[in-house]
Structure 1
Amino acid sequence: MRTFLRLEHLFQRLEHQIEEGNTAWSGRIGVESIIDMLTILGRVDIKSELIKELERQSAALENLAYNPNVDSGRLADILTKTRYSLNVIRAMESMPGSELQQNVLLNIVRQRNSIPAGTCGFDVPGFDYWLQGSAARCRNDLTVWYSAFDVIREGISLCLRLLRESAIVTWEEAMGGFFQRMVEKGLPLQLVRVVLPEGAPWYPEISAGRHRFTIRFMVGTAIEDRPIQTEENVKFQLLCCAI
């Protein structure tokens, strides 16, 4: 699930650059996002992981078909989308983004990307030339490259949306900034979310294991200070997502 969330973050970052970016720096961030995607996908069998998770979600949702409190029409629509996504993912014959492995520009930037400031104009003049081109051409190239991830992007989006929509929402209070809860046996808890009022002076640090999860609410008087756990009692909204 962490890999899905990291890829979702990269998808959103790249989409922002394509939609809003109009400078060389936007193009640079866009290319770095694609390289990060390729790096993650080179380490994880995302196809197998995504199929496994969508199959699990689909089976769990099918068990709700005879529940009179479930909207049967909406459930049928969700199951149709899930099965379609599974069929498309299963039909993939190569690793997502594999066609970009032959892209000369991306490969050059990728090789230099591990070196601090290794993609400066004098180090990779071809990349600098591309960045200095028209914003429209850069956006078009990024859009074409991004399309190589369409299948897994849509699958991950569906998987995370279903998971988030499954959330059980409760109001809780962290005494002295600390909250801990045991995970109910047999509950496939995969995502914990915390909602605080806008402008709250704390932020949550969440750690989780198989049997329990812990939330500490941290505060720092200045950005350069080491954050510490607040001593105040913190009321918050807890969303436990499990299918």
Structure 2
Amino acid sequence: MIQGDNWAEARALLGKWLLSAEAQAPRSVQFSHARRKPRDLLVSVIECNEDLCGCSDGCRLRGKTKMDQRDKLSGMTVGLHWLLAFGMIGMLVFGLVLEDMPKGDSKAALMWWHKGLGVAVLAFALWRLGWRMTQGFPAALSHAPAWQEKIAGLTHWFLLLGTLFMPISGLLMSLSRNRAVDVLGLFTIPPFGEIEVLHEVAEAVHGLGGKLLIAAIILHVVGAVKHEAVDKDGTMARMAGRRVEPRIEA
């Protein structure tokens, strides 16, 4: 049985070896660990050392890393992507339904849910923004013309920011009309008072932003279909949490 002192010494030696191996590893390998501290690197390689040991598909520890890699996205990235995707699409449909409803108790009740769920979406959107700022956007799995990459990049950023400005502008519409927002009965956001200019700006952003966001979602879906049907590069499989084989180097 390994004693405490021996275990500490073994960990220290392993840590030195890992840092040395990381420094000598190819650039594509270093990329996945670029933002990790030595302690995080140690934990990651103990869980799955495929990058440094060169293990094949038979590695029994494969797939347990928690950071995004080119061939496999983390559970956090996949989960937040689909949560916000279904959340925002649902809220946009919800908003279109409310827009056509006449004023009354039924609309007021649905509006209560719309506002509360909007705050929940905003919370997850902020979480996803922080995660994306630390991870960056997933790298492409296949080559594409520069103009397509530019459009894809702009679309990704617009979708990311759209999950923020839509719920924020919706909140401001109520708060600037001196209406508090009850968040699903959990807490209440107090109003600002009557600020007509802020209300008009928020209303314009919410209305136009919703239409632009729908267009961006359609464009994003078209791009996903292209990856699946034309490029056949495994982008959809990767976004489903599976490991894929990239066609281009990091």
Query: Which structure's residues are more often strand, by fraction?
Result: 1
Q: Which has the higher helix share?
A: 2
TM-score of the pair, normalised by structure 2: 0.38
Q: TM-score, normalised by structure 1?
A: 0.38
Largest Rg, 1 or 2: 2
